[in-house]
Structure 1
Amino acid sequence: MKAFGLFSANNYNAAIDAFEAFMKAYPDSEYVGNAMYWVGECYYTQHNYNEALESFSKVISTFPDGNKVPDAMLKVGYTLISMNEPAKAKESLQALVDKFPKSQAAAKAREKLVRLSK
């Protein structure tokens, strides 16, 4: 909660430190995947796209059944767009739609795919 409060206050570096401290202190917590996702959000918001991509990808690979996977897949797509990698972004967004078709993240991915196809 403290880390998320720091994120909400736009204190991204402190939030990253707090999320990482949480993951280190509680490596078996069911919330580690969420913390890892929010580290990615912090980096993404700071336009540190390489680190964001790494964090979001780690959520997907480490917690394939986690509740943050659809959102992480969406953010991988958004991050790739920001990195000027539209073909990879489309691939990632389509994978999200295929794997989690009824998720809110998939709905956002469909909208982004339409815009990328124009």
Structure 2
Amino acid sequence: MTPKRLRLFGAAAAIVLVAAPIAVAVAQTPMDDPLDARDAKRLDRMEKVVRELRDIVFKGQKTGVPVVVEPADTDSRLGDLSTRLSDLEATLKRVNGSLDSTTHDLDQARRDNAALRAQLKSLGDRLTADEQKMAEAAQAAQAAAQAASPPTPAEPPPPADPRAAAAAANADFAKARQMMLSGDYDSAEKAFSAFVTTYPDTPKTPEARYWWGKTLSVRGDYVKAAGAYIGAIRGWPQTAWAPDAVVELARSLVQLKKSPDACQALAELPRRYPKAPPAIKERAATVKLQAKCT
């Protein structure tokens, strides 16, 4: 053995020689009061340490081999605790990471819900606006239908001579037409309105409705104008003014923001009146662009 090992061996032997009598004396010394549980445990630990040291000394004496002292049980437990603490720290890190991810997902879900609510509100506002527009269009169509069929007042008793009645109708039509040609659209509008009311079934009545629609268009009354044009082209008459009445009807419908109806009327023009003058066809093309027909 080296001097250093001899010194360690001698120190251990001394501790054993000193501690052994003490332990025996303690064990043999009578005590007035019994030991409590804690003191008993401490005494057991001391005895265990003494026995271990004695075994170490005797083992060194017999073999002469350096004795390797195993780490105390406390160090092992401390190592276990350290390992457990490390595991707990790793678990806490994973839990914190999971909580961060969950918080991020919740925030994203809140943002998505807010965006969805905004979209639903926008859709609701658009539906309300569309319903209002549809109601306005229905009112305009109803007004146009009423204008196309004005109430017929009590007719005056017909003249005894049918030829005299026809002559009177022609004279009233000529007066209304002359008012329009002279630029007196207000008087012409009243005259043609009175004509279609007084003479609802004469050969001149459809044309009177056409000219009545013209006076209404000049005044910007497109609702009544559309009704007048519809009455004029009912049955698609083969007359010189009928193609222009179709174009004027479509133009009035565009002004009333009823482009699909305008496009439908313009689609009938080449089929009903294939020989319409070029000027009418050019005007129809212009209105078709305004209506954005496909």
TMscore range, shorter length = 0.7 to 0.9
Give the superposition deviation at 1:57.
0.4
Please give the alpha-carbon distance, in whole angstroms, between the structure 2 residues aligned to 1:43 and 1:89. Answer: 18
Which of 252, 257, 263 pairs up with 1:90? 263
1:32 has 2:205 as partner? yes
Aligned equivalent of 2:216: 43
Q: Retained in 2: the 8 A contact 1:97–1:110?
A: no
1:78 has 2:267 as partner? no
What are the residue-to-residue correspondences of 1:53-72 with 2, within 5 Å?
53-61=226-234, 63-67=235-239, 68-72=241-245
Aligned equivalent of 2:89: none
Which of 285, 288, 292 pairs up with 1:110? 285
Please give the alpha-carbon distance, in whole angstroms, between the structure 2 residues aligned to 1:30 and 1:9. Answer: 24
Percent of paired sites with the same residue? 24
Unaligned runs of 5+ in 2: 1-173
Q: Retained in 2: the 8 A contact 1:19–1:36?
A: yes
Give the superposition deviation at 1:45.
0.7
Give the superposition deviation at 1:25.
4.7
Give the superposition deviation at 1:89.
1.5
Q: Retained in 1: the 8 A contact 2:254–2:291?
A: no
- Residues 50-75 of structure 1: per-residue CA shift (max 9 Å, x gap): 000000001122x5325133222111
Q: Retained in 2: the 8 A contact 1:60–1:69?
A: yes
Q: Retained in 2: the 8 A contact 1:94–1:109?
A: no
Unaligned runs of 5+ in 1: none
Question: Residue 101 of structure 1 aligns to which amino acid in structure 2?
Answer: P
The TM-score, its normalising length taken from structure 2, stands at: 0.36
Q: Retained in 2: the 8 A contact 1:76–1:89?
A: yes
Please give the alpha-carbon distance, in whole angstroms, between the structure 2 residues aligned to 1:75 and 1:23. Answer: 19
Question: Residue 285 of structure 2 aligns to which amino acid in structure 1?
Answer: R
Question: Residue 266 of structure 2 aligns to which amino acid in structure 1?
Answer: L
1:4 has 2:188 as partner? no
1:101 has 2:269 as partner? no
Give the superposition deviation at 1:90.
1.6
Q: Secondary structure at the match of 2:179?
A: helix
Please give the alpha-carbon distance, in whole angstroms, between the structure 2 residues aligned to 1:76 and 1:116. Answer: 12
Give the superposition deviation at 1:95.
1.3
Please give the alpha-carbon distance, in whole angstroms, between the structure 1 residues aligned to 2:193 and 2:238. Answer: 18
Please give the alpha-carbon distance, in whole angstroms, between the structure 1 residues aligned to 2:188 and 2:290. Answer: 32
* Number of residue pairs the alignment of both structures matches: 117
Q: Secondary structure at the match of 2:202?
A: coil
Which of 184, 191, 195 pairs up with 1:18? 191
Task: Choose 90-99 or 46-55, whichever is displaced more.
Answer: 90-99
Q: Retained in 2: the 8 A contact 1:19–1:35?
A: yes
Cα distance change, pair 113–24 in 1 and its aligned pair in 2 (3 A): closer
Give the superposition deviation at 1:117.
4.3
